[in-house]
Amino acid sequence: MKNNNLTLGEFIIENQKHYKYTSGEFSRLLSSIKLAAKIVNYKVNKAGLVDILGAAGDTNIQGEDQQKLDVYANNVFMQTLINREIVCGIASEEEDNYVTIKGKHGTNENKYVMLIDPLDGSSNIDVNVSVGTIFSIYRRITPIGTPVEQIDFLQRGNQQVAAGYVVYGTSTMLVYTSGHGVNGFTLNPAIGSFYLSHPNMSFPEDGKIYSINEGNYVHFPQGVKDYLKYCQEEKDDRPYTSRYIGSLVSDFHRNMIKGGIYIYPTSSIGPKGKLRLLYECNPMAFLAEQANGKATDGYKRILDIKPTELHQRVPFFCGSKNMVDKAGEFMAKYP
Ligand code: AHG
Ligand code: MN
Ligand code: MN
Ligand code: MN
């Protein structure tokens, strides 16, 4: 562990020099995310002791059964940002539509919108496996002081100002980029502060881990089946190791540290894939590229896709550059 005296708060202030318009608004936004993450972390760590496990009883816009912690995490992030009037709009995996933040006088002068997957890996909550939060920040494109519009949220991922995730794991970490590399901060729960523990995180160019839900194998496109056969072949440094947690945040985090590829492809049962472009793929793709990794939909760069709807799904191939390129070679045989 290096630089373990620098807190996330200090790091944010020191890095303000990177931003062209240093009004402090972006720094305050990151501080609000940090606060919400600590609140959710507190609850996640008490799961099993307090009544926070299990289904909430509703279905979200994605057609998924919401878990109590999905709803709780969504409320914490929404309320923390709304009460502090720190963004002008928020879109969430758990909300049907984006939320406009009006401010005290009916308007607000903030320039950022945030998109969020409040609780990633819902299916792992009840069994004490790591879950996460994913966030993505853009500068609005409609005029400041007017209500936000859908086009503020439907920007290409290459327009992101910042993106990151929190992983509530063996320790709780906040990992983020604002376009100047990726840095990871570990929460010291005794003190309640995040400390810079993983400066300049980077995917190894090659890896030996592949992460995919192989239970869906028969439904996968032929290019994915062929790539999996390649991963399993006994040749050179193969076979690779299969590791799949089922929480994108945790699978990504492990692969970034150890080297690997995460794939959630299209399939005959999910023709568009499963993961959401705005709340999951774009922020993870931005992080991946900032950490010398790569993210595609099997063919083209995720960050160049023009979104058409808030809850849009896309196939996702993400991780060590050479592995994503190799998977792409197999996909290209079946355009
Ligand atoms: P969420 O819990 O936010 O709905 O996301 C679940 C996602 C992702 O975290 C994970 O990698 C993937 O769904 C797992 O899907 P399968 O259970 O189909 O493998
Ligand atoms: Mn969900
Ligand atoms: Mn998710
Ligand atoms: Mn979620």
Ligand 1 pocket: which of 93, 134, 213 to mutate (most atoms within 8 A of CB): 213
The pLDDT value recorded for residue 63 is 92
For residues 163-176, average pLDDT: 96
Q: Is the CB of 94 inside a 6 Å radius of any atom of ligand 1?
A: no
Q: What is the mean pLDDT of the chain?
A: 94
User: In sequence order, what are the residues at sequence separation of 6 or more whose Cβ sits closer than 8 angstroms to the Cβ of residue 211?
Assistant: 242, 243, 244, 245, 251, 254, 255, 260, 261, 262, 263, 319
Going by alpha carbons, the residue nearest to atom 15 of ligand 1 is 246
Q: Is the CB of 274 inside a 6 Å radius of any atom of ligand 1?
A: yes
236 in a labelled binding site: no
Task: Report which bound ligand comes closest to the CA of 253.
Answer: 1
The pLDDT value recorded for residue 198 is 97
Residues of the chain with CATH 3.30.540.10: 8-200
The pLDDT value recorded for residue 159 is 98
CATH of 8-200 among 3.90.480.20, 3.40.50.1000, 3.30.540.10, 3.30.1020.10? 3.30.540.10
117 in a labelled binding site: yes
Complex confidence, ipTM? 0.97
Q: Is the CB of 149 inside a 6 Å radius of any atom of ligand 1?
A: no
Task: Answer with the residue of higher pLDDT: 180 or 13.
Answer: 180
Q: Does domain 209-333 have CATH number 3.40.190.80?
A: yes
Long-range contacts, stretch 193-196, CB < 8 angstroms, 24+ apart: 193/7, 193/8, 193/9, 194/7, 194/8, 194/34, 195/3, 195/4, 195/5, 195/6, 195/7, 195/8, 196/2, 196/3, 196/4, 196/6, 196/7, 196/8, 196/11
Task: Name the band, by pLDDT with cuts 50, 70 and 90, for residue 256.
Answer: very high
Residues of the chain with CATH 3.40.190.80: 209-333
pLDDT of 23 over the 90 cut: no
The atom number, within ligand 1, closest to the CA of 251 reads 11
Q: Is the CB of 267 inside a 6 Å radius of any atom of ligand 1?
A: no
pLDDT of 2 over the 60 cut: no
Q: Is the CB of 120 inside a 6 Å radius of any atom of ligand 1?
A: yes
Q: Is the CB of 216 inside a 6 Å radius of any atom of ligand 1?
A: no
The pLDDT value recorded for residue 114 is 98
Which amino acid is located at 29 in the chain? Answer: L
For residues 7-11, average pLDDT: 94
The closest of 96, 98, 94 to 117, measured between CA atoms, is 94
Residue 182: half-sphere exposure toward Cβ, Cα within 13 Å: 25
pLDDT of 22 over the 90 cut: no
280 in a labelled binding site: yes
User: In sequence order, what are the residues at sequence separation of 6 or more whose Cβ sits closer than 8 angstroms to the Cβ of residue 315?
Assistant: 264, 265, 266, 272, 273, 275, 297, 298
Task: Name the band, by pLDDT with cuts 50, 70 and 90, for residue 71.
Answer: very high
pLDDT in tens, 75-107: 999 999 998 888 999 999 999 999 999 876 777
Going by alpha carbons, the residue nearest to atom 19 of ligand 1 is 213
Q: Is the CB of 313 inside a 6 Å radius of any atom of ligand 1?
A: no
Residue in this structure with the two tokens 């492809």, named with its chain if needed: 265
64 in a labelled binding site: no
Query: Highest-confidence range of 35-49, 122-136, 210-224, by mean pLDDT?
Result: 210-224
The pLDDT value recorded for residue 21 is 55
Instruction: Give the global pTM.
Output: 0.96
145 in a labelled binding site: no
